[in-house]
Amino acid sequence: MPTLSEVAQLAGVTAATVSNVLRHRGRVGAETRQRVLDAVKTLGYRPHLAARALAEGRAPTIALMVSSIDNPFYPEFALAVERAARESGHFVIVCNTNEDPATGRAYLDQIAGTLSEGVLVTNANLDFADLHKTEARGAPVVLCMWERPQEPPGLHCVAVDFRRAGELAGAHLVELGHRRIGAIVGSKVSGIHAARYAGFVDALHAAGLDAPAARLRQAPDSVQGGYAAARELLEADPGITAIFASNDLPALGALHAAADLGREVPRDLSVTGITDIKPAREARPALTTVAVRTAEAAELAVGLLRDLLAAAPDYEGAARTAPRVLVVPEPRLVVRGSTGVAPMRE
């Protein structure tokens, strides 16, 4: 692979002049310019794209940090991000942190501001201190899918009103006549899904119902986690006629638990999720859930990152911008086969 220096030598100019010609910068006479272009052609020199992007303080990629590529939400979100990014010619590289802050930190150190121009962070379990450091190095950071629009994180973010999502699911179950509703929270109860559960409780309270701790289970955010939690709930209290899950994966697990316990969905048991991932649409019965508008969130996040990059042509201004919070359009209930009118109880 010929080097810039070889091109310079052949053209009888300095490397800086070659660079100026290739980058359409500086003053270079027409004749010199032609000599450089001829040398480029003769040697088959291919400008080292990344090096050039780096020299210009710009790389054509943005990084998307995901916390668990194994969770189907993240590939779906990555796809949506990629669609949005390609509109402005950006490439997306996906970095999976496996829910490990140390891995996340390593990716940020290796990639942010160097291999990638900016960083989108989904609900990756990253230390905010690391994200602030990344910003301070000049790489804008946008948190995607922030769960509490009313409590901004002090970083640029795209927020989804997940409390409202929980409320919509809860209200739907209440309207169908359910009174004994179990809840599965796919994080620590005070954790990332807290707002979803709070919204669900809002809906119960609005209907004059209570939400006793006995009908609440915390579970891993997975099909298996939801399966185990739903079994526990239904075995402890067979009078439960509906299950609210704070995410689609545990809701899908609840469908399996119902099947194994011989309870037909939705005749004997209704189940709701939140997010609307593809497996929710493909389940049998398909899952009633609250769609959080993943594609819109991705578009807003990419747009915000693009704005921050444009506002920081010196590559170091982003951190100085006051954190911006964009809120995704309100979640909406998607009613499918997994919910129905509460069964009559004798």
Provide the binding-site residues for its own copies, judged by CB under 8 A.
1, 46, 48-51, 54, 59-61, 63, 69-70, 72, 74-76, 78-79, 82, 86, 91-96, 98, 103, 106-107, 109-111, 114-115, 137-138, 223, 252, 255-256, 259, 278-279, 282, 284, 315-316
Contacting residues for 181 by C-beta, under 8 A, at least 6 apart: 170, 173, 174, 204, 209, 215, 240, 241, 242, 243, 244
Q: Give the residue from 204, 265, 208, 252 showing the smallest Cα distance to 226.
A: 252
| Nearer CB in complex with its own copies: 65/185 | 65
CB of 89 to its own copies, least distance (A): 9
CB of 68 to its own copies, least distance (A): 9
CB of 105 to its own copies, least distance (A): 12
Question: What three-state secondary structure class fits 174?
Answer: helix
| Nearer CB in complex with its own copies: 88/98 | 98
CB of 7 to its own copies, least distance (A): 16
CB of 55 to its own copies, least distance (A): 8
| Nearer CB in complex with its own copies: 111/300 | 111
Residues 232-267 as b/e (b if ≥16 CB within 10 A, e otherwise) read ebbeeeeebbbbbbbbbbbbbbbbbbbeeeebebbe
CB of 321 to its own copies, least distance (A): 17
The rounded distance, in Å, linking the Cα atoms of 120 and 305 is 8
| Nearer CB in complex with its own copies: 72/152 | 72
| Nearer CB in complex with its own copies: 205/320 | 320
- The β-bridge partners of 116 are 112
Q: What is the 3-state secondary structure (H, E, C) of 43-104?
A: HCCCCCHHHHHHHCCCCCEEEEEECCCCCCHHHHHHHHHHHHHHCCCCEEEEEECCCCHHHH
| Nearer CB in complex with its own copies: 126/181 | 126
Structure tokens at 193: 């899904």
Distances (CA, A) of 286 to 44, 148, 208, 280, 337: 56, 28, 29, 6, 5
| Nearer CB in complex with its own copies: 81/160 | 81
Supply the DSSP string of 260-320, one letter for each residue: HTT--TTTT-EEEEEE--HHHHHSSSPPEEEE--HHHHHHHHHHHHHHHHHH-TTSS-GGG
185 and 225 in contact (C-beta within 8 Å)? no
| Nearer CB in complex with its own copies: 180/256 | 256
CB of 301 to its own copies, least distance (A): 17
CB of 204 to its own copies, least distance (A): 30
